[in-house]
Structure 1
């Protein structure tokens, strides 16, 4: 296989290992004639647009984590079972993970700014509705709608950044700031969720609504208009959209329900079969249509495939870890929601301060090496949590694990977003963004379902496992998320191995000369 660099729209090249190679003048170039930012010195309008995009991602993270902290209060107030409460979280994941690919392609075809704004207004409306409903089913519906809205804002926002900033230092810096903001929103949402729940759980649904309105108004002011794609008229590939969306929905729904029904239950097996069958139909359609929803050739790129694998392992492992960690601290150790949130906070603070600086490291050593360091930090952090017992110490147990998890996020999150969108033409940036976000959400759904199954099997039934059940499930569940993170390490070593081998072959030749 050839390992020559792939030309990129920004004037640089991306090698098979995902490392961007830019002309020497890129760090001092001013904005190009096409409006693409190539300099690391940005004007006020550029900062304003980036802050707006960061605000939307911050809001997504804030919303997800705030609601998670409010679940026990929601269940007590509305009389919802543990299984129903799960769907307040899973309904969001179902809408988000199931429609991300369609959201990314819609941004490419219809215009990124247009899709971004429309989805923000829908998100705001669903937030306000969720704050006033008194029925559990309607509450889940509002969460699903918010997930669908996020499935359009996330790839649209990310693709606006990747088309506005040229590959290299400018884009790496922008994506580092962007991903740090999202992680900060998630971390702060844990604290805000605990505080707002003390006042009333409805405030955790209400607060994101006005914030979404403010972001939408700012986006209308600061995000530049972009024209729809030339392919947007009559080339929607409805069959492809229906089959891939159906496959994603079937997969997410099945993995969420499997722990309660059983992995060998006929309905579970039918759900997996339906997902596989719809995906096979989607592949067949994309190979034959003149205007595919997803150009399958994009998946032949080694560095893009690797970025999506690591996105799956990073988010999947962490969602599983946070679930078992929260149960351990609250159900087994008796910590309050706010104490639990503060226990997770050090990792979030490290991401907030560290991720914006990851761009410089990416420029220096390339995304695969940065990902390897980050994934290794995850593995060590999770393994250290195996020391958890009946007498937890924050300083000796939680703090080392959360600091290492924070390092992992600060390094991996910007890196796989950079790697997933490098070497992609502007008209497919929404697709590339949708793919990496889909990998994250599917990873979160699959690993959380597996961890839930471990907890349920140790607890002896549906609902909470109880203190003894949580302690019994702690070690196998932690080993599970450690194994998921290890997959990310091994996949990165597989990407780096050929390059290291080529260097070893070159070294003797240089010595002989």
Structure 2
């Protein structure tokens, strides 16, 4: 589910855009905003709907545990590694052009996913979807920034984000209903008519814009980041099957870390790096990005594994599992503005300290219900507390990130923070999959426990009760690890985030 959330600093990317050179009529600006909402709906609906359908996908495609992790990871890998270069490409080659290319690529990838006869081809399609999203998402924000003057951007972004919250509410319900009553493949086919409508509206009403001072793209950095993350993630997901001493696992893990080190070296030497390392000289910027990494690690990992427990252990239908996500979207959609005003009054430190700790409490509550719990005595309390914590934390992140750097670097700083959030989701699914497997294997003592774990997640028939209990224990360990990560994020926020602004002394 977390893959559908807009980045924590999307507002910052919009606000940091230069003032448009030419003004548009109010009617045309409304149509421009409609085009960005339609395009972004592809990622919002697809991401939120797919989470609750993963158990059905695993069952229908007879996918193993590592393979179903890669259905999520392939998307997060290409999105996280390429989202920064996607934003830079829009500035250089035209924001409307890159936005349209992203929409078309995402739509074609969705068709490939809908037709995929095997999990391997589905994973390839999901990687291509991530590429499309890496162009589409920053493209939509760039179009808003290039079309609205600074005094109108807050309202325009609020409309765009509100639409995202709405799609976040209906997406899990759509995905669950399709998984229960129709075919999960329709989740991908929904994207095609939306994409066609987006292309038509964008082509007719969105003016082209670019930054004439934009420099070259950091292709080397993008390749090193994607290859390094791929190596580390692949090693983590297959190690429970192949063993940690397997030469392929060791080569992928060590090679991936070496490539990530190469990425850092390259960014220090590039003339126009996609992630300027100088930004991290600011203790506030470094601290808030570490907070983002831990908080979105916790959120993404929890939302990936939660549907499996709700459906396989608690006995929820996919539709009811989707409904369990509703408090999250409702609370964030209704109270984000209030959370922002509280942060303005009391400072980001309070919100970035308290919010993640509350989110950690919510995650711990999600681990609490025993097998067979219902909706009210099951996920409701945990999901609500998690939503309150995330609502308190996400809004102030933008102000903290943008305030930690010079005004001219606010846009790239916001982009870096968004990329950190996406990479956190990638690492969460891989690392927490190791935790899930280790606890499950320890709890069963079965020499074929890894294969049995795949059967439990896929909903195999005639599973022994001991296997279900072992999965629930493993799920609880994962959720408590997520809770610990969120609480640690809160501690870092309390130590590094800026406090309330001091009033200027009167002359």
Q: 5 Å matches for 1:231-310? A: 231-232=214-215, 235-262=216-243, 265-310=246-291
Report the counterpart of residue 464 of structure 2 in structure 1: none
Indicate whether 1:414 and 2:395 are aligned. yes
What RMSD, in angstroms, separates the aligned Cα atoms of the two structures?
A: 3.5
Report the counterpart of residue 481 of structure 2 in structure 1: 480
Displacement of 1:305 in angstroms is 3.0
Aligned pair count reads: 469
Bigger Cα displacement from structure 2, 61-70 vs 49-58? 49-58
d(CA) in 2 for partners of 1:95, 1:213: 23
Query: In 2 relative to 1, CA 424–162 (structure 1 residues): closer, same or farther, beyond 3 Å?
Result: farther
Task: Report the 3-state secondary structure (helix = DSSP H, G, I; strand = E; otherwise coil) of the residue aligned with 1:236.
Answer: coil
Q: Is the 8 A contact 2:51 2:307 kept in 1?
A: no
Query: In 2 relative to 1, CA 301–196 (structure 1 residues): closer, same or farther, beyond 3 Å?
Result: same
Displacement of 1:203 in angstroms is 0.8
Report the counterpart of residue 126 of structure 2 in structure 1: 143
Displacement of 1:275 in angstroms is 2.9
Report the counterpart of residue 471 of structure 2 in structure 1: 470
Displacement of 1:423 in angstroms is 6.9
Report the counterpart of residue 492 of structure 2 in structure 1: 491
Normalising by structure 1, report the TM-score.
0.80
Task: Report the 3-state secondary structure (helix = DSSP H, G, I; strand = E; otherwise coil) of the residue aligned with 2:324.
Answer: helix
Q: Gapped runs of 5+ residues in structure 1?
A: 1-19, 21-25, 507-513
d(CA) in 1 for partners of 2:120, 2:420: 28
Q: Is the 8 A contact 1:377 1:405 kept in 2?
A: yes
Q: Is the 8 A contact 1:159 1:430 kept in 2?
A: no
Report the counterpart of residue 14 of structure 1 in structure 2: none
Q: Is the 8 A contact 2:103 2:195 kept in 1?
A: yes
What whole-Å deviation, never above 9, does each CA across 1:24-48 have from its counterpart, x for those lacking one?
A: xx9xxxx9785699xxxx9444444
Q: 5 Å matches for 1:14-25? A: none
d(CA) in 2 for partners of 1:418, 1:178: 18
Alignment partner for residue 172 of structure 2, among 190, 212, 227? Answer: 190
Indicate whether 1:70 and 2:53 are aligned. yes
d(CA) in 2 for partners of 1:179, 1:295: 27
Task: Report the 3-state secondary structure (helix = DSSP H, G, I; strand = E; otherwise coil) of the residue aligned with 2:115.
Answer: coil
What whole-Å deviation, never above 9, does each CA across 1:253-298 have from its counterpart, x for those lacking one?
A: 3444444445565434433332332233233333334333433222
Task: Report the 3-state secondary structure (helix = DSSP H, G, I; strand = E; otherwise coil) of the residue aligned with 1:294.
Answer: coil
Q: Is the 8 A contact 2:328 2:384 kept in 1?
A: yes
d(CA) in 2 for partners of 1:471, 1:251: 27
Alignment partner for residue 86 of structure 2, among 79, 84, 103? Answer: 103
Indicate whether 1:350 and 2:331 are aligned. yes
Q: Give every structure 1 segment of 4 or more consecutive aligned residues whose post-TM-superposition deviation is greater than 6 Å.
A: 423-427
Report the counterpart of residue 108 of structure 2 in structure 1: 125
Query: In 2 relative to 1, CA 96–293 (structure 1 residues): closer, same or farther, beyond 3 Å?
Result: closer
Displacement of 1:153 in angstroms is 1.7
Displacement of 1:85 in angstroms is 3.2
